[in-house]
Amino acid sequence: GFVKKISDYITKKVADKLSGMCKTDKEEYEKYWDDISPFIKFGCLKDTKFCEKMSDYVLFKNLDDKYLTFKECLEENKDKHENTIFYTNDPVQQSQYVNMFKAEGIDAVVLKDAIDQPFISQLEQKNENVKFVRIDADLNDSFTEEISEDELKDATEKLTETFKKALNRDKLDVKVQKIKDEKVSSMITVSEESRRMQDMMKMYGMGGMDPNMFGGQETLVLNANHPLVKYLAENKDSDKAPVICEQLYDLAMLSHKQLSPDEMTKFVQRSNDVLMMLTK
The mean pLDDT of the chain is: 91
Q: Average pLDDT for residues 232-246, to the nearest whole number?
A: 94
Please give the residue that has the higher pLDDT: either 198 or 247: 247
**Predicted local confidence at residue 69, as pLDDT:** 95
Q: Tell me the backbone φ, ψ of residue 124, rounded to 5 degrees.
A: -65, -35
Is residue 24 pLDDT above 70, yes or no?
A: yes
Band of residue 53 on the pLDDT scale cut at 50, 70, 90 = very high
Please give the residue that has the higher pLDDT: either 211 or 165: 165
**Predicted local confidence at residue 42, as pLDDT:** 96
Please give the residue that has the higher pLDDT: either 229 or 280: 229
Is residue 251 pLDDT above 70, yes or no?
A: yes
**Predicted local confidence at residue 212, as pLDDT:** 52
The closest alpha carbon to 172, from 194, 188, 196, 150, belongs to: 188
Q: Average pLDDT for residues 161-188, to the nearest whole number?
A: 95
The closest alpha carbon to 172, from 230, 246, 224, 233, belongs to: 246
Complete edge-to-edge strand list for the sheet that includes strand 131-134:
109-110, 84-88, 131-134
Task: Give the sign of the dihedral formed by CA 217, CA 187, CA 68, CA 41.
Answer: positive
The closest alpha carbon to 187, from 254, 142, 140, belongs to: 254
- Angle of CA points 62, 65, 68, to nearest 5°: 50
Is residue 101 pLDDT above 60, yes or no?
A: yes
- Count of Cβ atoms closer than 10 Å to residue 256 Cβ: 19
pLDDT in tens, 80-97: 888 999 999 999 999 999
pLDDT in tens, 212-230: 555 457 999 999 999 999 9
**Predicted local confidence at residue 241, as pLDDT:** 95
Band of residue 189 on the pLDDT scale cut at 50, 70, 90 = very high
d(CA 187, CA 181): 12
Is residue 16 pLDDT above 90, yes or no?
A: yes
**Predicted local confidence at residue 199, as pLDDT:** 76
Q: Look up the pTM and report it.
A: 0.88
Q: Average pLDDT for residues 165-175, to the nearest whole number?
A: 94
Band of residue 146 on the pLDDT scale cut at 50, 70, 90 = very high
**Predicted local confidence at residue 210, as pLDDT:** 55
**Predicted local confidence at residue 200, as pLDDT:** 77
**Predicted local confidence at residue 184, as pLDDT:** 94
pLDDT in tens, 261-273: 999 999 999 999 9
